């Protein structure tokens, strides 16, 4: 039975961006009082992140967040509708284990060869659409980067 993902259409809370952090869904909240990070599901407290800067990573759709108290964070922001608050803490992409029949070896037979060829042909057709999506992801990353830079240069207030 497929999981209902209708909640992903809901609007995120103000100042919150959902991101891919180390292969898991996480949320970054940017407020005048500071930047908060939530990596685990549930209604817990937001971890305070002392952001000293944000810049573009090697890939333009990824943001490198510089912290005063630890290593840099590499995050890929999601566009609205691609993830929802209940996803926080779960793995991005497939969450099933090795027993997933979709990841099993297909074997060596003529049907598999034809299906593989059709799959490759479909990938060539979809490639321009994927490039367009990369540009949209890059715009989302730029918006997050600008908001984090503004939060890093804002005067410190009560922590998030």
Largest CA distance in the chain: 66
For residue 110, the model assigns a pLDDT of 78
CA distances for 112 relative to 56, 107, 108, angstroms: 41, 7, 7
- For residues 64-75, give the mean pLDDT: 91
Per-residue model confidence as pLDDT tens digits over 85-104: 888 888 887 544 444 444 45
């Amino acid at each position: 039975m497929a999981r209902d993902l209708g909640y992903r259409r809901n609007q995120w809370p103000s100042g919150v961006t959902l991101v891919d952090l180390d292969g898991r869904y996480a949320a970054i909240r940017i407020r005048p009082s500071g930047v908060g990070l939530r990596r685990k599901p549930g209604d817990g407290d937001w971890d305070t992140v002392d952001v000293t800067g944000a810049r573009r990573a090697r890939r333009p759709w990824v943001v490198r967040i510089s912290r005063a108290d630890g290593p840099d964070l590499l995050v890929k922001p999601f566009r609205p509708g691609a993830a929802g608050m209940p996803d926080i803490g779960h793995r991005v992409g497939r969450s099933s284990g090795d027993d997933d029949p979709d990841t099993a070896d297909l074997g060596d037979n003529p049907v598999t060869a034809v299906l593989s060829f059709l799959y490759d042909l479909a990938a060539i057709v979809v490639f321009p659409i994927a490039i367009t999506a990369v540009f949209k992801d890059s715009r989302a990353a730029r918006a997050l980067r600008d908001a984090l830079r503004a939060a890093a240069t804002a005067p410190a207030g009560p922590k998030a």
